[in-house]
Amino acid sequence: MTTLLFHKPYGVLSQFTPEPGSPWDCLASWVAVGGVYAAGRLDADSEGLLLLTDNGALQQRLTDPRWGHWRRYQVQVEGLSSADSLEALRQGLVIQGRRTLPARARAMDPPEELPERNPPIRHRLNVPTSWLELELREGRNRQVRRMTAAVGLPTLRLRRVAIDLMDEEPLLDLAGLSPGAWRQVNAQEQGRLERLLRPGLRRPSDRMGPPAR
């Protein structure tokens, strides 16, 4: 099984073929490994951790919403969060006619050693910006952006920084990967991924307690 962790830059599609007429780049310009595909996706205007694998069963397991693997995002938003807006994100919001699952949400300081983005974020001089950490266990279309907009905090920059496979173990994360860089999973990570495919394994969501504050 070949499995890679890739730090997807802004402006890159989560696929190996370009979209006709699209201004966005694709994975083939960055990852010279054949036979692997994205397990899940990040929009072209989002950045961060993307897992690439040649194992169809693993790809299905990581994208099946019934398994509910937590994904951690750092989100720069326009405006300042409040206790009410954070609680609304945690409890779930009606987006496109469906309520989102309960999430984990907190205000955070700007990330340390934040990579530059090209193009840079546009700021309005009279509107402050702030950062949120959001953890979701579903991946609906542009969900983070729709959720923050619903509480009056439009997303300016979105980074996925970690994927949780099993609650009691460390995360897959961006540690050591600069934008555009990738690496093969190490032996410990490979073992955790293989354990996900064992028959009889309970879904992570079966073990989860209430969303963290």
The span from the CA of 80 to the CA of 127, in Å, is: 9
Q: Which of 25, 43, 45, 173 is catalytic?
A: 43
Total domains present in the chain: 1
pLDDT in tens, 17-57: 999 999 999 999 999 998 999 998 899 999 999 999 999 98
Residue 144 domain-assigned? yes
Q: For the chain, how are helix, strand and coil distributed in percent, rounded to 5?
A: 20, 25, 55
Name the residue range of residue 114's domain. 3-206
Residue 131 domain-assigned? yes
Please compute the mean of the pLDDT values over residues 112-134 and round it to a whole number: 88
pTM above 0.85, yes or no: yes
Residue 156 domain-assigned? yes
Residue 62 domain-assigned? yes
The span from the CA of 103 to the CA of 118, in Å, is: 30
Active site residue 43: yes
Residue 213 domain-assigned? no
